[in-house]
Amino acid sequence: MRVLVVGAVSHFASVLTHAPGTLSEHNVQTFSGDVHDTKAVKSMLAGQEAVIYFAPGGDKSTTDPFEALDAATRGTFHLMTAAEEAGVRRVVLVSTLTFFGRHPRDWNVDTSWRPRPTPDPAELCPWLAELSVREAIRASPGLRADCLRLGANVADVQMVQAITSALSEPLTDNAAGRWRIVHVGAAAGRPTNQGRPWREVFAPAVPLASRPIKNVVVFGAGGILRVHGLTQAQANAMP
């Protein structure tokens, strides 16, 4: 199978290209360029049968968070659209289990749990990439995507095995079967629950200080507020 690896840092690209396992039986090529470069992306996708896409931001290879966010959203959707146009049927999205690092160890977190990423690009970007790929799958009946969420301590051989397994999944026209999530390994650093309620678990580490509201703008004042005679003075007196 002709496979294009997109977005992988040099270590992962080397692992996938020279893997001693079954992935080495595929014709693997890598693309580390800009996913917004339409001409380059179309050229690399020509003749490919599958795409292995490492979610932007998950490996912290991008120092500019805005660039990573743009790549995770607009860039991901552009890549998926170009892949469908090139006749690609399979996509393997390599994401992260960092989403669940705050979840206590006694919580049985599986693929049915919705991630609650923090604003950290290492969490937010892979999550946005997942959403972008999933929406692209919904809009593109010819595509199938397997989302592999890797734990921080997953060995290279485990990653290769998970990707190899995803590449061998049967293609289907069933909408429910064209998007699959797999957890590989476990999220690192999961704390002990100690009886904390879930709201406390997901509360910000540093509470956000509130600020007093001084100025209020009332839109649509020609409606019910106007009928009840809200004057400018009353509006100004609102806390």
* Cα–Cα distance, 45 to 221 (Å, whole number): 55
What string of DSSP letters covers 33-48? S-TT-HHHHHHHHTT-
pLDDT at 233 over 60: no
The model's pTM is 0.81
pLDDT digit string, tens, across residues 22-31: 677 788 888 8
- Residue 125 CB neighbour total at 10 angstroms: 29
What are the φ/ψ torsions at residue 74 (nearest 5 degrees)? -60, -40
- Residue 65 CB neighbour total at 10 angstroms: 15
Confidence of residue 140 (pLDDT cuts 50, 70, 90): confident
pLDDT at 51 over 90: yes
SS3 91: strand
Q: What are the structural domains, with CATH classification, of the chain?
A: 2-201 (3.40.50.720)
Report the chain's mean pLDDT, rounded to a whole number: 84
Contact 59, 15 (CB under 8 A): no
